[in-house]
Amino acid sequence: MQRIRLRYTKRGRLRFTSHRDFQRAFERALRRAEVPMAYSAGFTPHPKVSYANAAPTGTGSEAEYLEIALTEARDPETLRGLLDESMPTGLDIVDAVEARTSGLADRLTASVWELRLDGVEPADASTAVGTFLAAETVEVQRKTKNGIRTFDTRGAVVELTATPARGDVPGNGPLDSACAILRLVVRHVTPAVRPDDVLSGLRAVADLAPPVPAAVTRLAQGLFDEESGTVTDPLAADREAVSAASPTAAATTSATAPGAGAA
């Protein structure tokens, strides 16, 4: 059984696609591309697809991940192209690598988000960010299936900055008024701290309330590097393992070929 890990996006209007909608679209793409999927056992077999930390409905993303299991080996890049052609524009399959390591979900420990706040002056956003970062705790409330839950958002935030927006942003409309851009790096903790929770925290500590809903996009997710303060590519380890194995495989083939080592 071969395992392939894929990175996909949610862009433009497709940011409003729910995770269930994406699952349906992806399973149709698997059938169209005639991917030799492995299936689960039992009375209702289903394709072996593992989704990792999907973004909330309504947020865009450049870094969503999943893993599929195949019964026959396929070239990852060829498979990526076939699947991408079979998906709606906006739900794009942009990267693929053969899984050579375990625990993809364990390497998704932090996310980088961009929040576009139309109608908010950058100076006001910077002041609110400073107040948020200066607080030891910033408690917010979120409605869950078990009722209202109160939790701290400050502890999960690694970085939060505010800058002026520059020019038009595809899919978000023209820049014709005040607009601030927040860059947020947040750890994946329990309970999960989402961008809208951080906005609620900014409203609570600094009375920052955008007049229109923020346009939120996940730019990256992966392991958080404490030394550099960056979020690293979660597929890098698989790419390195594939590269390291290739010369070894070639040498083995050469050594076992008929006549190898003959004078």
Same domain, 145 and 162: yes
Residue 4 has pLDDT above 90, yes or no: yes
Cβ neighbors of 29 (< 8 A, separation 6 or more) are: 83, 86, 87
d(CA 64, CA 10): 8
Same domain, 84 and 113: no
Give tens-digit pLDDT for 87-115.
999 999 999 999 999 889 999 999 999 99
d(CA 87, CA 29): 6
Same domain, 101 and 150: no
Same domain, 100 and 114: no
Give tens-digit pLDDT for 51-67.
999 999 999 999 999 99
Residue 169 has pLDDT above 90, yes or no: no
Same domain, 94 and 119: no
Instruction: Please identify, among 106, 128, 161, the residue that sits at the C-terminal boundary of a domain.
Output: 106
Same domain, 177 and 89: no
Q: What pLDDT, on a 0 to 100 scale, did the predictor assign at position 147?
A: 86
Residue type, 112: V
Q: Is residue 205 part of a domain?
A: yes
Provide the domain count of the chain: 2
Instruction: Please identify, among 55, 76, 106, the residue that sits at the C-terminal boundary of a domain.
Output: 106
State the residue range of the domain holding 121.
109-225
Q: Is residue 98 part of a domain?
A: yes
Q: What is the separation of C-alpha 209 from the centre of its chain, rounded to a whole number of angstroms?
A: 26
Residue 248 has pLDDT above 60, yes or no: no
Where helices occur in the chain by DSSP H, the ranges are 19-32, 76-86, 122-134, 195-206, 236-256
Q: Is residue 173 part of a domain?
A: yes
Q: Is residue 49 part of a domain?
A: yes
Same domain, 90 and 128: no
Q: Is residue 179 part of a domain?
A: yes
Do the beta carbons of residue 58 and residue 216 sit within 8 Å?
A: yes
Q: State the helix-helix crossing angle for 195-206 and 122-134, rounded to 10 degrees.
A: 90
Give tens-digit pLDDT for 181-238.
999 999 999 999 999 999 999 999 999 999 999 999 999 999 999 888 899 999 999 9
Q: State the pTM of this model.
A: 0.87
- Tell me the Cα Rg of the chain: 22
Do the beta carbons of residue 149 and residue 191 sit within 8 Å?
A: yes
